[in-house]
Structure 1
Amino acid sequence: MNKWVKKGVSVFFAASMVMGCLAGCGSGGSGGSDGGAKSGKLIFLIWDSGQKAGMEAIADAYTEKNPDVSIEVQATGWDEYWTKLEGAATSNTLPDIFWMHSNQMFKYADNGILADCSEIINESDYSEIAVANAKGSDGKVYGVPKDKDTIAFLYNKRNDFK
C-alpha cells in the first residue's frame, strides 16, 4: 500500500471523527494521487476498546464507499499499546493507521517513521493546539487531529459529599 493511500485513509478517518460526517471524505476509490484508496487491507490500531465500535463504524462507512479496501480495527490496552507500536516501528511492521499521543509524537516523526501529511491537511480546520500536537520538530504535520482533551476539576466548597 503506497503512502498516498495510507494518507488518504488517515485523513478520511480523522475528518470523519472530527466533523462527524462522511460527506466529502475519501475519493470514492479512484486510486489517484489525491490519496484515494485503490485496494488492499489496512490495519487500524487503537488503544481504547471502548472506542472500537465507533472506529469500526467509521471504517465500515469508508469501505462502503471504497469496496476494494478492507479495514481491520485492532484494540490494544494503553500499557501494551506503546510496547507493541515501538516493536512494530523497530521491525518496520507498523499498522497502516494508528493513534498517536502528543507525548510520543516526536519519537516517531523525527525518526522518519510517519508520513508527512502537510500537503493534505487544512490546518485551519483544527485548533492551533491540535495542529501543533501533530507536528514534528521540522514543522511538518504528521498526523490528523482526532480528539481534543478537556479536563475539568470540580471542587465542592461545602465538602458535603463523601
Structure 2
Amino acid sequence: MKKRNRILSVLLCAAMVAGLAGCGSKNDSEDSGEKDGKIKLTFSTSVYVEEPHQKAIDALLEAYNKKNPDVEIEVLGAGYDGYWDNITNEIQSGTASDMIQVYPENISTYQALKPFCENSTKI
C-alpha cells in the first residue's frame, strides 16, 4: 500500500507541476528545445535516484513516447538533499526545467517565485 501511495504521489506531483515552468521566455525554436522537428523538454525530480520511482517514471515516459514520438523528455534526477534549494535557485535564475516535481503543498511557494523572477528581469 505504501509503494502504491508513493507512486501515486509521484504521478500526481508530476501532473500538477506541468504548469510550473522556469522564468524567462523561450521565443525561438532552439530555445524552446525544438530541433529537427522534435520537442525536447526537461523534468526535474528528487525521486528518480530511487529504483522504484525510476522504474515508474521510465515506464510513464515510455508510454508517453509511444503516443508522442515528437517529444523527448530528459529526466534530471537529483537526490532529496539540496533539491529544494536547487529548484529555487533555478527558478529565480531562469534556468529551471520545463517540468519540476514538487509536492502539492509546495506548489504555491514555487509558483510565487515565478512572478518575482519575471518582475526582476524587466528593465
**TM-score, scaled relative to structure 1:** 0.43
Residue 29 of structure 2 corresponds to residue 14 of structure 1: no
Aligned length: 81
Residue 65 of structure 2 corresponds to residue 63 of structure 1: yes
- The SS at the match of 1:95 is coil
Quote the residue 1:42 is aligned against.
Answer: 41
Answer whether contact 1:56 1:73 (CA < 8 A) is retained.
no
Quote the residue 1:121 is aligned against.
Answer: none
Larger radius of gyration: 1
Q: Which runs of 4+ in 1 moved over 6 A?
A: none
Deviates more, 1:95-104 or 1:60-69: 95-104
Identify unmatched segments of 5+ residues in structure 2.
1-10, 17-36, 116-123
Q: What's the CA shift for 1:74?
A: 1.9
CA deviation vs aligned residue, 1:83-142 (integer Å, no higher than 9, x gap): 2101110111111112112453222223446xxxxxxxxxxxxxxxxxxxxxxxxxxxxx
Structure with the higher fraction of residues in helix conformation: 2
Correspondent of 2:102 among 92, 100, 108 = 100
Identify unmatched segments of 5+ residues in structure 1.
1-9, 16-37, 114-162
Distance in 2 of aligned mates of 1:56 and 1:42: 15
RMSD: 2.7
Query: Larger RCO: Structure 1 or Structure 2 (Cα < 8 Å, ≥ 6 residues apart)?
Result: 2
**TM-score, scaled relative to structure 2:** 0.55
Q: Which amino acid aligns with 2:40?
A: K
Distance in 2 of aligned mates of 1:76 and 1:101: 15
Structure with the higher fraction of residues in strand conformation: 2
Q: Provide the identity percentage.
A: 28
Answer whether contact 1:39 1:68 (CA < 8 A) is retained.
yes
Answer whether contact 2:92 2:113 (CA < 8 A) is retained.
no
